């Protein structure tokens, strides 16, 4: 990954973008794709779409990722100035206590999620408190002082760093799903540089973590001939994962093409063929019921949009220390670029019945 692409990824990862509050993160994405897209538009909720307008009459292909991340939200302020919180998206109650956080109000406010010291707990019979029972300490000593800093409804994110691990492994919060918006933008950039005949869209959706809401909006409005939803998927190569539940997915072995449910079989074959053309290794994953990604919304939009979920192996999903391999991420962008090159030759994505 060159310096420019790495800087773009790091800008996405360091810009807080909890579900329902994605504007700052979307601005980073829009500024980047505006350098090469023919047009960039946003809608009322902040979904962003960039396009390469092809000269041919072939299928229109959309690469999509979701801009939002999990987090917390201020539910109430106690009399003594602590903030009661609730989840934004699928926040994990087991990793929240003892974390540095930022409350995003009119100005950013530093805080910590309180945890009773081990000396003062009955160790051995502990259970994890629900998020609604946890609290943020911003240093205020009264409700009045806290109200001067924050309001009910302010979003909260964990304050964490991007850390380069050994080799090409990278750790950060929000890999889910900054890698998807990064890859969608890079797939579009490759299409522009190759001046492909097909019309290619890059899409950064909002509120995926709250029920695929942005994809429902974009799928109806854009109505592409096919959509590739790029998201993270669970790597199963760390010691505490039961592979029988998820299937073998390893960091460093390439992007993951899902099969089953929303994943259109013709689009699956097309993606695998495009990967083979460029010598890109891909892994396969079964999705017998649902993908859990924006593909589940796109494929039922209008009269049905052929859709595919392509995943990036990710360890420790929905924690502040998600880990990916950047070689997988580059290969994922290469795969999208290959699909953009080849899609003009596709006559139809309809299944042969």
* 143 burial via Cβ count (<10 Å: 0-12, 13-18, 19+): middle
Per the CB < 8 A criterion, the answer to whether 65 and 180 are in contact is: yes
**Range 92-111 burial, b when 16+ CB lie within 10 A, else e:** eeebbbebebbbbeeeebeb
* 188 burial via Cβ count (<10 Å: 0-12, 13-18, 19+): buried
HSE-CB for 235 with a 13 A CA cutoff: 24
| Residue whose entry in the numeric block shows the structure tokens 């609730």 | 86
Phi/psi at 42 (nearest 5 deg)?
-130, 155
- Which of 22, 208, 253, 322 is catalytic? The answer is 208
Per the CB < 8 A criterion, the answer to whether 92 and 318 are in contact is: yes
Classify the phi-psi angles of 67: left when phi > 0, otherwise alpha if psi is within -120 to 50, otherwise beta: alpha
208 is catalytic: yes
Question: Cα separation of 102 and 12, whole Å?
Answer: 17
Enumerate the known binding-site residues.
66, 176, 209, 231, 318
Count of residues in the chain: 353
- Alpha helix stretches (DSSP H) within 153-222: 175-194, 213-222
SS (H, E, C) 77-140: ECCCCCEEEEEECCCCCCCCCCCEEEEECCCEEEEEECCCCHHHCCCCCCCCCCHHHCEEECCC
The residues carrying an active-site annotation are: 208
């Amino acid at each position: 990954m060159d310096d420019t692409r790495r800087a773009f990824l790091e800008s996405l990862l360091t810009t807080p973008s909890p579900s329902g509050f994605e504007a700052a993160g979307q601005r980073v994405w829009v500024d980047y794709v505006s350098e090469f897209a023919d047009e960039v538009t946003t809608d009322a909720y902040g979904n962003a779409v960039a396009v390469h307008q092809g000269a041919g009459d072939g299928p229109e292909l959309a690469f999509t990722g979701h801009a939002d991340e999990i987090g917390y939200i201020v539910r109430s302020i106690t009399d003594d100035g602590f903030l009661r919180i609730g989840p934004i998206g699928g926040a994990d109650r087991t990793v929240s206590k003892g974390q540095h956080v930022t409350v995003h109000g009119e100005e950013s406010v530093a805080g910590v999620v309180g945890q009773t010291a081990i000396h003062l707990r009955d160790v051995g019979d502990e259970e994890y408190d629900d998020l609604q029972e946890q609290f943020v300490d911003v240093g205020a000593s009264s409700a009045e002082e806290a109200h001067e800093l924050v309001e009910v409804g302010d979003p909260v994110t964990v304050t964490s760093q991007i850390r380069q691990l050994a080799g090409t492994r990278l750790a950060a919060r929000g890999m889910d799903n900054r890698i998807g918006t990064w890859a969608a933008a890079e797939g579009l950039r490759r299409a522009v540089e190759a001046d492909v005949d097909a019309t290619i869209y890059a899409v950064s959706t909002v509120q995926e973590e709250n029920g695929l809401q942005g994809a429902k909006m974009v799928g109806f409005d854009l109505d592409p001939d096919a959509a590739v939803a790029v998201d993270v998927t669970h790597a199963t190569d760390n010691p505490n994962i039961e592979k029988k539940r998820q299937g073998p997915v390893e960091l460093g072995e390439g992007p993951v093409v899902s099969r089953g449910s929303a994943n259109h079989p013709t689009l699956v074959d097309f993606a695998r063929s495009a990967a083979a053309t460029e010598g890109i290794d891909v892994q396969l994953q079964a999705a017998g019921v649902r993908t859990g990604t924006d593909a589940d919304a796109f494929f039922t939009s209008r009269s049905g949009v052929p859709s595919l979920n392509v995943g990036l192996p990710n360890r420790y999903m929905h924690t502040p220390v998600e880990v990916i391999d950047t070689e997988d991420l580059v290969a994922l962008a290469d795969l999208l670029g290959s699909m953009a090159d080849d899609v003009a030759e596709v006559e139809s994505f309809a299944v042969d019945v």
